[in-house]
Amino acid sequence: MFELVRAGGWLMLPIIVCSIIAAAICIERFWTLRSNQIAPKNLFATVVSLIRSNQLDNKRLRELRMGSPLGQILVAGLNNSRRGREIMKEAIEEVAGQVVHEMERYLNPLGTIAATTPLLGLLGTVIGMIKVFASIKLEGTGNTAVLAGGISEALITTAAGLTVAIPSLFFYRFFQRRVDDLVVGMEQEAIKLVEALHSDRGDRQEGRESRESKESKESGKNAFSGVVS
Q: DSSP string spanning the chain?
A: -HHHHHHH-TTHHHHHHHHHHHHHHHHHHHHHT-HHHHS-TTHHHHHHHHHHTT---HHHHHHHHHH-HHHHHHHHHHHTGGG-HHHHHHHHHHHHHHHHHHHTTTHHHHHHHHHHHHHHHHHHHHHHHHHHHHHHHHHTT--HHHHHHHHHHHHHHHHHHHHHHHHHHHHHHHHHHHHHHHHHHHHHHHHHHHHHHHHHHHHHHHHHHHHHHHHHHHHHHHHHHHHH-
Region of poorest pLDDT, from 10-14, 56-60, 103-107, 221-225? 221-225
Region of poorest pLDDT, from 54-63, 89-98, 99-108, 184-193? 54-63
> Residue 106 is part of which domain span?
2-228
* Nearest one of 50, 85, 93 to 186, comparing CA atoms: 93
The SS3 call for residue 57 is: coil
Q: Report phi then psi at 76, rounded to 5.
A: -60, -40
Confidence of residue 221 (pLDDT cuts 50, 70, 90): very low
Q: Domain tally for the chain?
A: 1
The SS3 call for residue 110 is: helix
Query: Is pLDDT above 50 for 204?
Result: no
The SS3 call for residue 105 is: coil
Query: Is pLDDT above 80 for 140?
Result: no
Percent of the chain with pLDDT over 90: 30
Query: Is pLDDT above 80 for 32?
Result: yes
Mean pLDDT comparison of 10-19, 21-30, 83-92, 205-214, highest-scoring range:
21-30
Q: What is the spatial distance between Cα 48 and Cα 114, in angstroms, rounded to a whole number?
A: 44
